[in-house]
Amino acid sequence: MTMRATLIGFTAVLMWSVLALFTAASGNVPPFQLSAIAFAIASVPGIIVLVARPERIKMLRQPAKVWIIGIAGLFGYHFLYFTALRNAPAVDAGLIAYLWPLFIVVGSALLPGEKLKAHHIIGAAAGFLGTALLVTRGGGLALSGEYALGYIAAFLCAFTWSGYSLLSRSFSKVSTDVVTGFCLATAVLSLLCHLMLEQTVWPQTGGEWLAVVGLGLLPVGLAFYAWDYGVKHGNIQVLGAASYAAPLLSTIILIVARFGEPGWRVIVACLLITGGAVIAARDMIRGKKS
């Protein structure tokens, strides 16, 4: 059961790996507008399930705290991420935001029934080093006081997503059907932010529309349903460490699609991230209880 749920959760990481590709191919659609469209599409699979099985609608009747955590997780993460990118260099903001897998691994020690071991921390740290190598392209960060707002938003972004993932574990009995409601609420809030902060720009070609639909169906859609199930029922330390595979796979996919250039960084990052995930998953691989 645990391994199956962990593997389902990891499919979210695989889907997140095409986020950059689909975003790059979606044209010049502003971020909040893109988020509103993508999350509206993301709610469609859940709505279809609820229409086909109306008895599951009762699963949406959850305590207010479940809705607050869910909406804060999905919308809060994206709001803070976009804010970080607008107020700090993308490299810096992206790397700080990608502290969330490490926060999940370390924070899991606070969860009932979970035990944090040295190899979990070592695996997560190796993954972060590999991600840092990819994001910074082997260079350093341009840390500056003028980007303080962006850095703070990026840190809060990482804290928000890791907090959402860890708190979701506490609601393991809450059906994943509720993610449909989270997606709808995030779409509405993103639309409001778009109307207040952005100028509307629609996709210009069929290819751009396909990329937008792809975003809504996979990395901004099914991925959140899979992640919800994985963090509730799977091995959360392994999922946290394995999440660093997303930026690695994303980089490889961008290179294959000719949006990026190959190099030694990708090879070293691959060894660090893959090795870190294997180390973190040592107990699961050996069939031992974590």
Q: Which two tokens stand for residue 120?
A: 């979990």
**What local confidence, expressed as pLDDT, does residue 140 receive?**
63
How far is residue 102's CA from residue 108's CA, in Å, rounded to a whole number?
10
**Mean pLDDT value across the chain:** 85
Q: Long-range contacts made by residues 65-71, C-beta under 8 angstroms, separation at least 24? A: 66/171, 66/174, 66/178, 67/178, 67/181, 67/182, 67/185, 69/164, 69/167, 69/168, 69/171, 70/164, 70/168, 70/178, 70/179, 70/181, 70/182, 70/185, 71/182, 71/185, 71/186, 71/189
Give, in order, the Cα–Cα distances in Å from 64 to each of 61, 69, 157, 167, 190: 9, 9, 22, 14, 20
> What percent helix, strand, coil does the chain show, rounded to 5?
80, 0, 20
Predicted model pTM: 0.84
Percent of the chain, pLDDT > 90?
43
**91 has pLDDT over 90:** no
Task: For residues 81-110, give the mean pLDDT.
Answer: 80
> What is the DSSP secondary-structure string of 20-78?
HHHHHHTTT--HHHHHHHHHHHHHHHHHHHHHH-GGGGGGG---HHHHHHHHHHHHHHH
How far is residue 136's CA from residue 268's CA, in Å, rounded to a whole number?
13
**What local confidence, expressed as pLDDT, does residue 192 receive?**
97
Percent of the chain, pLDDT > 70?
91
Rg of the chain in Å (alpha carbons): 18
**What local confidence, expressed as pLDDT, does residue 138 receive?**
63
**290 has pLDDT over 50:** no
Q: What is the pLDDT of residues 175-200, one digit of tens each?
A: 999 999 999 999 999 999 999 999 99
Q: How many CB atoms lie within 10 A of CB 108?
A: 24
Q: What torsion, rounded to 10 degrees, do the Cα atoms 30, 71, 148, 123 define? A: -110
**What local confidence, expressed as pLDDT, does residue 186 receive?**
96
**214 has pLDDT over 80:** yes
Q: Length of the chain, please? A: 290
**What local confidence, expressed as pLDDT, does residue 287 receive?**
56
Confidence of residue 174 (pLDDT cuts 50, 70, 90): very high
**What local confidence, expressed as pLDDT, does residue 137 receive?**
63
Using an 8 Å Cβ cutoff, are 152 and 97 in contact? no
Q: What is the pLDDT of residues 61-90, one digit of tens each?
A: 999 999 999 999 999 999 998 888 888 777
Using an 8 Å Cβ cutoff, are 114 and 172 in contact? no
